[in-house]
Amino acid sequence: MKSKKELTIITWLSFGLLLLTCLHFGWFLFESHLYFIISGIILALIWAVDLFFTIPLNFFQNTVLRWIRTDLGTFLMIVFLSILGVFMITWLQISINILLMLSATALARLELQTSRFSNWQSFIILSILSTFGLILGWALNYYFSVDHLEFKFCFPFDLGCIEIPHSAPTPPHQE
């Protein structure tokens, strides 16, 4: 058995996949009208999912499963799953992005567990990758959006801007 922490090529690929899925979701979120509020909520949910993947499972067995076995718990779980199903069908593109991020997070967590990282180290690595991917997606969509490029392209960290002339379509010449 391995006693030291080794990151293999498959581990780096799973990290890249997690970064790419979060980048794509950040790009998608930037197109919404209230992206700061929505993105803050999504970022908090991403951290909650990262925490969920790194907490030992026996913690949930004692508390959550005991509560679900009651009649009220079963009823509320059915109602919750029904609402979740309607949400997933209604907003299919968001649901697919969320499922992709959950899958990539689970894969990266398995790779970190195989590499013998502790739960807190895994949580920090997953949170940093997810947050960086989301912020990178926002930034790339902002800097490469069509509306932004019609007038100027600004480099990050106040390195300056490049003016892009706005070319209006010229009317055809009439004789």
Give the rounded distance of the alpha carbon of 128 from its chain centre: 11
Start-end of H helices in 91-118: 92-114
Domain boundaries, the chain: 9-143
How many Cβ atoms sit within 10 Å of the Cβ of residue 76?
Answer: 13
For 31-57, the pLDDT digits (tens) are: 776 777 877 888 888 888 888 888 877
* Token pair in block for residue 10: 């498959």
Region of poorest pLDDT, from 86-95, 96-105, 149-158: 149-158
At 1, is the pLDDT very low, low, confident or very high (cuts 50, 70, 90)? Answer: very low
Residues in contact with 35: Cβ distance below 8 Å, sequence separation at least 6, in sequence order: 29, 138
Confidence at residue 16, expressed as pLDDT on a 0 to 100 scale: 92
